[in-house]
Amino acid sequence: MSHHHSHDVLVIGSGAAGLTLALKLAQQGISVAVICKGETNQGSTYWAQGGIAAVLDDHDSVDSHVQDTLDAGGQLCHEDAVRFTVEQSATSINWLLAQGVRFSQYETKQGEFHLTREGGHSHRRIIHAADATGRALSETLTERALTHPNIQLLTRHVAVDLIGRSGQCQGAYVLDRDSGRVKLFHSKVTVLATGGANKAYLYTSNPDGASGDGIAMAWRAGCRVANMEFNQFHPTCLYHPKAKSFLITEAIRGEGGILLNPIGERFMPRYDERGELAPRDVVARAIDHEMKRLGVDCVYLDISHKSADFLLDHFPTIKARCLELGIDITREPIPVVPAAHYTCGGVMTDMAGRTDIAGLYAVGETAFTGLHGANRLASNSLLECVVYGGAAAEDILKRLPGLSSPPTAPMWDESQVTDSDEDVVISHNWDELRRFMWDYVGIVRTNKRLQRALNRVGLLQQEIAEYYSNYKVSNDLLELRNLAMVSELIIRSAMARKESRGLHYTLDYPDQLEIAQDTILTPSNFAVPRQP
């Protein structure tokens, strides 16, 4: 098998953003390679339960959706990015329908899609496929990509680092996990669609691959990152020893679910007048405070007052999974805890997905567009993937004819490294990193905790760099290296924000400053302005 590949466009990541972009390019005759680090349908898109926020109802409006997003974002959203995204929402849904995605409809209203409501939304505007919307998107787009002659989709391939010369990205070095060989992928355009960095935390709703690979690679290549301190903690992940990373969708609260502490008290109205429909950061902090106040391991989400037929129709996946674990949601509340869920910051881009480096784009959770501000509004994430995947594809189509094939880069040299017999170092460092990030850089922060975390991550990075220099790369080593990098970016961003805003809450600066500003970090090798 060849260790040298050449395509017009290389897409790193196979979630909603990457596949939307790949399909829109391939349908115009462009040669696209898509790599995913595991098998297909294993990324964050697949596990997204709630739905896609879109203006589809006559009683709703673009202005209302924009305002809800701005309100949730703590005055830090970029209004132009928000409006652009919302204005594209109906078109994006229509494109997904054309690809074959099947959304839930009202039983009594033929041909009318069922819209639900989630925290922070003033209208029912969440179009969904029962409680497995991400699965419907992921499976449909993956099937389309696998059968398209212009797309080469490679599983179990993980990017090592980007290839760049003279401020131009020319592809990436990619590890084939099965052969253990590092391949060279040349491309005129490279797209980072690798998702977020929530595996930096001990408890997360994300699948194992969410290790911030794209953000770390872009930073090492010389791209700026922004607002990495805003980590969204989903308020309700299932608390059970056998339920790793299982999310309890926001839509349960949208359909009337209430939060109870272990002594049976409903507590959300004490924290916010919107109760369970408050934005996620408010709900997550309330749960965290309630757990610490009472010294308990979890709280409970109760939807048992709804009929069994309603729950089976709207939440079949959650009902089935809970029943497997001995929890009957039609009769009893669900034990839940907050968990790291979404990375609101990322690689700085414009509204076409272009980064600081020519030929390099970033889309989806990897990117920072200004849409989410200090807190992501529920169900805006899948919308962002489709909107910006499409916007980047449109920009790439315009620019590709003027781009020449990149010069040949050297093949990967591993002549000076050996196979590791010390993999315990990786597993130990992985566990230590995620544990101190949870303890020191979690839902509630302090200067002292952040300084401790920065000291620890610096020491870990020294160990990881030495290991990386002496041994052959592996998926676990690459993920650890990237997680340590994005953890440092999260910590440095949190230390730079001298206020509490949105998802960033610190006991040392509990008030909000009058002027809202992004936290922008610039790498030492940043030497070029944003591409024209």
280 is catalytic: yes
CATH of domain 424-513: 1.20.58.100
- Which H, E and C letters describe 212-264, residue by residue? CHHHHHHHHHCCCEECCCCEEEEEEEECCCCCCCCECCCHHHHCCCEEECCCC
Catalytic residue among 83, 280, 376, 449: 280
Identical fold between 4-230+344-402 and 233-339 = no
What's the confidence (pLDDT) of residue 109? 66
Q: Which of 177, 209, 182 is nearest to 193 (CA)?
A: 209
pLDDT tens per residue, range 224-280:
999 999 999 988 999 988 877 788 988 899 899 999 999 999 999 999 999 999 877
pLDDT tens per residue, range 253-265:
989 999 999 999 9
Q: Which of 371, 357, 2 is nearest to 192 (CA)?
A: 357
Sorting pLDDT into bands at 50, 70 and 90, what band is 471? confident
Q: Mean per-residue pLDDT for 136-144?
A: 94
| Cα 491 to Cα 521: distance, rounded to the nearest angstrom | 11
Q: Which of 184, 524, 206 is nearest to 365 (CA)?
A: 206
**Angle at CA of residue 375, ends 492 and 38, nearest 5°:** 75
| Cα 492 to Cα 506: distance, rounded to the nearest angstrom | 14
Architecture of domain 233-339: Alpha-Beta Complex (3.90)
| Cα 448 to Cα 471: distance, rounded to the nearest angstrom | 35
**Angle at CA of residue 138, ends 229 and 26, nearest 5°:** 100
Res 20 pLDDT > 60: yes
pLDDT tens per residue, range 391-437:
999 999 999 998 877 777 777 767 666 676 667 888 889 999 998 99
DSSP 25-46: HHTTT--EEEE-SSSTT-SHHH
* CA end-to-end span of the chain: 38
Side chain identity at residue 33, one-letter code: A
Instruction: Look at 74-88, 471-485, 517-531 and tell me which has the smallest mean pLDDT.
Output: 517-531
Q: Which fold has domain 4-230+344-402?
A: FAD/NAD(P)-binding domain (3.50.50)
The helix or strand, by DSSP H or E, that contains position 82, with its residue range, turns out to be helix 79-87
Q: Where are the domains of the chain?
A: 4-230+344-402, 233-339, 424-513
Report the chain's mean pLDDT, rounded to a whole number.
Answer: 91
Res 523 pLDDT > 70: yes
All residues at 6 or more sequence positions from 311 whose CB lies less than 8 Å from its CB, including other chains = 303, 319, 329, 330
Res 504 pLDDT > 70: yes
Dihedral, CA atoms, 58, 60, 66, 72, nearest 10 degrees?
Answer: -160
Beta strands of 319-405 (E only): which ranges?
Answer: 334-343, 346-348, 360-362, 367-368
| Cα 376 to Cα 388: distance, rounded to the nearest angstrom | 16
Q: How far is CA 499 from CA 284, 306, 491, in A?
A: 18, 41, 14
Instruction: Look at 373-377, 448-452, 517-521 and tell me which has the smallest mean pLDDT.
Output: 373-377
| Cβ neighbours of 170 (radius 10 Å) | 25
In the block, residue with structure tokens 């989806």? 364
What's the confidence (pLDDT) of residue 472? 87
What's the confidence (pLDDT) of residue 151? 97
Sorting pLDDT into bands at 50, 70 and 90, what band is 1? very low
What's the confidence (pLDDT) of residue 249? 86
Q: Mean per-residue pLDDT for 181-208?
A: 92
Residues 10/191, Cβ–Cβ less than 8 Å = yes
Indicate the angle between helix axes 447-470 and 475-496, nearest 10 degrees: 150
DSSP 428-454: HHHHHHHHHHHHHSSSSB-HHHHHHHH
pLDDT tens per residue, range 80-112:
999 999 999 999 999 999 999 999 887 666 668
Q: Mean per-residue pLDDT for 40-48?
A: 81
Q: Mean per-residue pLDDT for 49-58?
A: 89
